[in-house]
Chain A
Amino acid sequence: MNADLSMITLVSEASFLVKLVMLSLLAISLYSWLLIFRKREELSQAKIDADSFEDKFWSGNELNKLYEDIASTPASSRGMEGIFEVGFKEFVRLKKSAPEPGQVLEGAQRVMRISLAREIDQLEMSLPFLATAGSISPYIGLFGTVWGIMNSFRALGNVQQATLAMVAPGIAEALIATAMGLFAAIPAVIAYNRYSHEVERLINRYDTFLEEFSSILQRQHD
């Protein structure tokens, strides 16, 4: 009885349910890595954009000119730029037709808050999937393992003389499911923690900018 314990045979000889578990874990792992790569690129791009915009904003240029620069680019502006563009546009529009001085600033602020909420929504998108993958995939893997071990013990019950060699392949094959669950979960949890922290910081930056920008608008208006 020379059992072939290579990984391929272990996986291919697993029962249908365990195979299903492994397949779904592989899919979860693939998708969460896809999100990890995409989110990393997205967040670093947002950070670069915010840095360059803040540089431009605090360089002392005229606000009108900055607005024209941003508005003239064909792509719709995102992040801090978007907040600035929307807020300034509304400010100018209301200033021309403003019935009362208080309403101008309030209107601009409201529009910027809406824009900020949209940004936050964008930044936080697809983070929940990482959290779910991180917390769920160990359980899925464990389920596959328990099922596999259960089956191998059931087969053992029908035999008079049990040897370790009869149980070992079944257990080894079942344990692969747990290993895969952990393999999918660990990067997802790390990425979730890291990215949610980064998103938090970005939101804080946007919020502070919004506050500063509205106080500048207030000064201009007076």
Chain B
Amino acid sequence: MNKKLLRNVIAGSYALALHIIIVFLLLVNFDSVPTRVAVPRTIDIVQATMVDEQYILDGIAQRQEQLEEKARLEKEVLDHKKEKLQIQQQKRKDAIEHEKKRIDKQKREANAKLKAIEKNKKAAELKKKKKENDEKKRANAAKKLKAEKEKKVAEKKKKVAEEKRRKQAEEKAKKAEAHQLLQDGLVTEMREKEAHRISGVVNKHIGMIGQRIRRYWIEPANATQGMECILRVILLSNGDVKKVSIVKSSGNANFDRSASSAVYKAAPWPHPGDPKVAAMFKDFKFVFRPQ
């Protein structure tokens, strides 16, 4: 405990000394630089403002004169334009009044014509109504005869339609049966595909397991070529190793131990990606063959 404290104090004093040195160096460097830069700048600024004031005062007087002249010229031009516009407007007003008078005349003539046409129309409508009444009476009698005939025809048609419906229902039932058969076929095919996919994932995962164990495996000194052992690995759901046991020993205890410790070291084991495959690899046996 005392030793630790002493170490801390020593390291702390080193750090403090380093900082003091650096701050000192910075202070020395910093002071000498900016004063040289700062002085000429202030002089520049003062000169610039002195010249500017006189120049600007002269410039402002000249400008104002110029502006006044311009304003006068512009006013004259504007007055001229205004007069022209007034004359034009007067002309337009006269033309518009003339046209208004003409339109009023035309309207009066048109009203007289419309009244004459309406009188003619009323007379024609009265005649039409009389004719329509006569025709309705005749049509009703004819309709009754027709309706009786149509009833008979409709009954015949109904019978034919019912037969047709029966036939269609039978056909539908047949089709549905065929469809069911096809679906069953598809389901089995899907299952086969799923099994195929799972076996692919499993093979990939087995390859990955072998590679991973080999990567973490440290070869014991007295291992010989061609040794192999069968391990039983139980994994937790987060990929950690719960237990490794040796199902079939290679005959060399060192080799077995190195293999099982490689399994521990390789934790956490990656998830295979498929929940079904993951369930298969919760508890599995594995042949460890280094070559």
Q: Which of B30, B41, B221 has the most CB of A within 10 A?
A: B30
Q: Is A159 interfacial (CB-CB < 8 Å)?
A: no
Give the residues from 169 to 222 in chain A that come closer than 8 angstroms, CB to CB, to chain B. Answer: 172, 183, 208, 211, 214-215, 218-219, 222
Q: Is B45 interfacial (CB-CB < 8 Å)?
A: yes
User: What is the size, in residues, of chain A's interface with B at 8 Å between Cβ atoms?
Assistant: 32
Residues on the B chain within 8 Å of A222, using CB: 253
Give the residues from 1 to 48 in chain B that come closer than 8 angstroms, CB to CB, to chain A. Answer: 7-8, 10-12, 14-16, 18-19, 22, 26-27, 30-31, 34-35, 38, 41-42, 45
Residues on the A chain within 8 Å of B16, using CB: 30
CA distance A134 to B144 in the complex (A): 105
CA distance A164 to B37 in the complex (A): 13
Give the residues from 19 to 76 in chain A that come closer than 8 angstroms, CB to CB, to chain B. Answer: 26, 29-31, 33-38, 41
When the two chains form their complex, are residues B31 and A37 in contact, meaning their CB atoms are under 8 A apart? no
CA distance A31 to B221 in the complex (A): 47
Q: Is B261 interfacial (CB-CB < 8 Å)?
A: yes
Q: Is B247 interfacial (CB-CB < 8 Å)?
A: no
Give the residues from 61 to 115 in chain A that come closer than 8 angstroms, CB to CB, to chain B. Answer: 105, 109
CA distance A2 to B254 in the complex (A): 83
Q: How far is the CB of B34 from chain A (nearest CB, A)?
A: 4
Q: How far is the CB of A30 from chain B (nearest CB, A)?
A: 5
Interface bracket on B = 20 to 34
Q: Mark each residue of chain A from 144 to 178: 1 if its CB lies under 8 Å from any CB of chain B, else 0.
A: 00000000000000000001110000001000000
Q: Is B257 interfacial (CB-CB < 8 Å)?
A: yes
Residues on the A chain within 8 Å of B31, using CB: 6-7
When the two chains form their complex, are residues A7 and B26 in contact, meaning their CB atoms are under 8 A apart? yes
When the two chains form their complex, are residues B26 and A215 in contact, meaning their CB atoms are under 8 A apart? no
- Determine the main DSSP class of B at the interface with A: helix
Q: Is B239 interfacial (CB-CB < 8 Å)?
A: no
Q: Which of A29, A38, A222 has the most CB of B within 10 A?
A: A38
When the two chains form their complex, are residues A218 and B253 in contact, meaning their CB atoms are under 8 A apart? yes
Interface residue ranges, A against B (CB under 8 Å): 1-3, 5-8, 26, 29-31, 33-38, 41, 105, 109, 163-165, 172, 183, 208, 211, 214-215, 218-219, 222
Interface residue ranges, B against A (CB under 8 Å): 7-8, 10-12, 14-16, 18-19, 22, 26-27, 30-31, 34-35, 38, 41-42, 45, 218, 220-221, 253-254, 257-258, 261
Pairs A–B under 8 Å by Cβ, sample size 30: A2-B42, A5-B34, A5-B38, A6-B30, A6-B34, A7-B27, A26-B19, A29-B19, A30-B12, A33-B15, A33-B19, A34-B8, A34-B11, A34-B12, A34-B14, A36-B11, A36-B15, A37-B10, A37-B11, A38-B7, A38-B11, A41-B7, A41-B11, A163-B45, A165-B42, A208-B218, A211-B218, A215-B257, A215-B258, A218-B253
